[in-house]
Amino acid sequence: MDKFSRWVTPLKHRSVEPLYAGQNIEYEDFPCTIDVTGPLLYTLFQERWRDTQIGHVVEGSVLELEFTQPPKICLLYDGYLTVVTEAWHLHLCIEEHLGGPLQKTPPELRQQRLIHRASLYRRLNDRGEARSWGIQFWNGAGEKMMNLFLPNPFLGADEDLLPEGKPQLDKLSLYEELRQIYVLGDRPMPFDHNPLKRPYISVCRSSRCYPSRNWPPIYEALQQAVEEAGVDVTVMNAGCLEVCKLGPVVFYSGDRTWYTRVTPEIAKQIVNDHLVSGEKVTYHLYPPMSEIQIGTVSYTNS
Ligand code: FES
């Protein structure tokens, strides 16, 4: 695994695309590796959620979503960042999506889904003056993915246009800060590790893989074992972990490992053997070791 660096290496790539009626949009690209997009998105969704709106803009269609409170969940699972609020949720592919424990996603589709380009942008009017600010992502097919709207000094509460000549220019501070860190590389990222890569261990709570849904004993055993071992791993529960049989199912995000038929005792063993000592509990792995060894599953987990 590459060592996390707090400094972004600038791409030094700026482009201007014409819109219509003399308007343009300026893009300044920045690296879209997980160790850059992870800290950026964590900052915007977890810390600056009041200043961030989620958008999707194509000709003829605009979507804008805002946070009214911090997200309930902001979690990386199998390459997708999932952000859940009281009213809506989103998924954004920021790392290769393998397709669950059986790695069902074909290699070309993994590349198509993944962010391949990221830019800070400004929309410029016919006099070259910036009128809106944000972040745009593109996937591996060159299609526009979602974008993020950053605070606009020309808009007041309820999106009303402020009087001509009276912009609230201090609202540009977030854009300027992000530009210094991610585009220019003049300031370090405010993290000493990728906050979206902090490992977690999760138990499925759905009835499809575990009809009794008696997952709390597994969850409690994981929590107790993690606490006793003193490992920096978050214990969670999830709606589905893509195995959907042989429950209770447990997933460890640190190296994308799935376990099945987990009892409270096995949960403790997973924590002590795998999370602490790095030795997987092979008898409960999914897919089973036998399938990995005879090659029916190409096991290339990162
Ligand atoms: S329902 Fe439990 S893993 Fe899918």
Give the other-Cβ count within 10 Å of 100's Cβ: 19
- In testing the pocket of ligand 1, which one of 207, 243, 252 has its CB within 8 Å of the most ligand atoms? 243
Cβ atoms 261, 283 nearer than 8 A: no
Range list of H helices, 155-287:
173-178, 216-229, 264-269
Residue 99: its pLDDT value, please?
Answer: 94
Sketch out the chain's domains with CATH numbers. Answer: 14-183 (3.40.1570.20), 199-297 (3.40.30.10)
Q: How far, in Å, is the centroid of ligand 1 from the Cα of 157?
A: 43
pTM of the predicted model as reported, rounded to 2 decimal places? 0.91
Structure confidence at residue 293 as a pLDDT band (50, 70, 90): low
Cβ atoms 289, 245 nearer than 8 A: no
Mean pLDDT, the chain, whole residue set: 93
Sign of the C-alpha dihedral, residues 111, 244, 248, 289? negative
Q: b/e string for 29-54 if b means 16 or more Cβ within 10 A?
A: bbbbbbbbbbbbbbbbbeebbebbbb
Residue 294 has pLDDT above 60, yes or no: no
134: which 2 tokens? 């944000």
Tell me the average pLDDT across 193-210. Answer: 95
Q: How far, in Å, is the centroid of ligand 1 from the Cα of 290?
A: 22
Cβ atoms 115, 122 nearer than 8 A: no
Report whether residue 241 contacts ligand 1, using a CB cutoff of 6 Å: yes
Q: How far, in Å, is the centroid of ligand 1 from the Cα of 57?
A: 34
Q: Report how far residue 137's alpha carbon sits from residue 146's, in angstroms, rounded to the nearest whole number.
A: 6
